[in-house]
Structure 1
Amino acid sequence: MNVLIVYAHHEPKSFNGALKDIAVAVLTEVGHQVKVSDLYAMNFKAIADRADFKEMLEPDYLKYGIEQRHAYENDALADDIKAEQEKLRWADLLILQFPIYWFSVPAILKGWVDRVFTTGFAYSKGMSYDTGGLKGKRAMLSFTTGDPFDTYAHNGRHGDIDIVLWPIQNGILRFVGFDVLPPFIAWSAARGGQEIRERHLVDYRGRLLALERTEPLFFHLAEDYNESWRLRPGIEARTPGQRTMARDECVSLRNAQVLQLGSSLLAE
């Protein structure tokens, strides 16, 4: 299996660095081919702008998505974008390694997504989700948190981790066609002691050794939705994040109904 690790941490001696290193060691040890895009070490350009295109359709007014497609179709993308796309073509599995920043990925990793997942290559009209441009490949998040698991429970202060990850796992990875594996989460790595970090490394080694046997997360296919892209009647939301949001939507609706009833009683 060919594995691409996109690593986003500024400090090589960080725990994210340790997770990246053990992934390279374990996967190589069992015969997989591994490449690493170390975004900070590469000084990867995170800003999407005119410099991403060697030629433009409309030089006087930048419409980034249109220029992306034109450049992709005419071999006019910047060399660093083309190099990352070649790695993705080569890879069977993509691992994103990062610390959670503000309930999302670090800016340099988001910039990698913005610039590398170009229209025409990763998605386009009629080419998204189960028909995305990277269909047939798998992807997994491996990340660290500052706070423990309980704060990311459905009733935790930060909210359900499935909702936190929805924009990344569904809005980025699944949108471009990946089969998304369950994430590896190193809870409280930033504040935990050495014993906790060592346990995370042991657990991650186990996850890595089981990658080929790991079932992807469930995502609804296109036929589960109606013409308005809502789940058809009788089909229950099962995707992590979507399932949780559906539950919360029911709670919000019930609360709204209670408020409406209260208003009606007051009016009477």
Structure 2
Amino acid sequence: MSTTSLGNVLIINAHQYYPFSEGKLNAALVDKAVTLLEGKGYNTRVVTMAEKYDVDEQLAHHQWANFVILQSPINWMGVPWSFKKYMDEVYTAGMGGALCAGDGRVAEEPKKNYGTGGTLADVKYMMSLTFNAPEESFNDNEEFFDGKSVDDLMFPMHMNFKFFGMTPMETFASFDVMKNADVENDFKRFEAHINKHF
């Protein structure tokens, strides 16, 4: 009996190890995603910043994928430095056509169509993020983020994926993971999120 795959999912574990942040939650969410998605009939590949990587192989992973899940802690309002290094190395190498054909502009109209050169128009992406910040610090004008949402904070990452022509899926977030973690509930919400979108 042959089974047909529902698609290919590249999962990127962007966690950077620190003694105070060992990455257990991000790793557990990656494992949970693999189990859930493979159980549904998807193929998965996992890339972690903790391991050495080959740039060409990483470009091939992105071209193979129908979906990309970025599993990342948020450090100092953005992705960890090791994933930024990955982007600088892998995504820059992808400018020659693997991820995008330049920035989309042409010599005849150099001021128009910036960011439209992406070659991954059939690929969707989902961010799954872990925050030290409590959920209540977002979407409230009286709190730290001045009424901004998680997706507002992650605008640069959304633009990076858009640059490759990718389409966003709903972002998932775990909050207050260092001081008031509710991992059991996070796992339940994550499973529901995966089931909703895959």
More helix by share: 1
d(CA) in 1 for partners of 2:56, 2:78: 25
d(CA) in 2 for partners of 1:178, 1:126: 14
Aligned residues: CA RMSD: 1.9
- The runs of at least 4 aligned residues of structure 1 exceeding 4 Å deviation read 127-131
Which residue number in structure 1 is paired with residue 144 of structure 2?
A: 157
Q: Would the aligned equivalents of 1:147 and 1:191 in 2 still touch at CA under 8 Å?
A: no
Q: Would the aligned equivalents of 1:144 and 1:190 in 2 still touch at CA under 8 Å?
A: no
d(CA) in 2 for partners of 1:12, 1:34: 24
Which residue number in structure 2 is paired with residue 47 of structure 1?
A: none
Is structure 2 residue 13 aligned with structure 1 residue 7? yes
Q: 1:201-256 CA deviation, whole Å, 9 max, x = no partner?
A: 011111112223xxxxxxxxxxxxxxxxxxxxxxxxxxxxxxxxxxxxxxxxxxxx
Q: CA deviation at 1:190?
A: 2.0
Which residue number in structure 1 is paired with residue 95 of structure 2?
A: 119
Q: Summarize the alignment of residues 24-173 of structure 1 with structure 2, pairs less than 5 Å apart.
A: 24-40=34-50, 42-44=51-53, 80-117=54-91, 118-120=94-96, 121-123=98-100, 124-126=102-104, 129=115, 131-155=117-141, 156-159=143-146, 160-161=148-149, 162-169=151-158, 171-173=159-161
Is structure 2 residue 175 aligned with structure 1 residue 187? yes
- CA pair 93-153 structure 1, distance change in 2 beyond 3 A: same
Q: 1:25-72 CA deviation, whole Å, 9 max, x = no partner?
A: 1111111101000111x145xxxxxxxxxxxxxxxxxxxxxxxxxxxx
SS in 2 for 1:89: helix
Q: 1:82-121 CA deviation, whole Å, 9 max, x = no partner?
A: 0001111111000111100111000111111111123123
d(CA) in 1 for partners of 2:178, 2:41: 31
Is structure 2 residue 29 aligned with structure 1 residue 19? yes
Q: CA deviation at 1:125?
A: 3.4
Unaligned runs of 5+ in 1: 45-79, 213-268
d(CA) in 1 for partners of 2:115, 2:193: 25
Q: Percent identity?
A: 25
TM-score by length of 2: 0.80
Q: CA deviation at 1:175?
A: 1.6
Q: 1:124-152 CA deviation, whole Å, 9 max, x = no partner?
A: 13276555121110001101000111212
Task: Give 2:48's aligned amino acid.
Answer: D
More strand by share: 2
Tell me: higher relative CO, structure 1 or 2? Use CA pairs within 8 A at least 6 residues apart.
2
TM-score by length of 1: 0.60
Task: Give 1:8's aligned amino acid.
Answer: A
Number of aligned positions between the proteins: 173
Q: CA deviation at 1:13?
A: 5.8
d(CA) in 1 for partners of 2:131, 2:103: 35
- CA pair 167-125 structure 1, distance change in 2 beyond 3 A: closer
d(CA) in 2 for partners of 1:125, 1:187: 35
d(CA) in 1 for partners of 2:34, 2:22: 14
Structure number with greater Rg is: 1
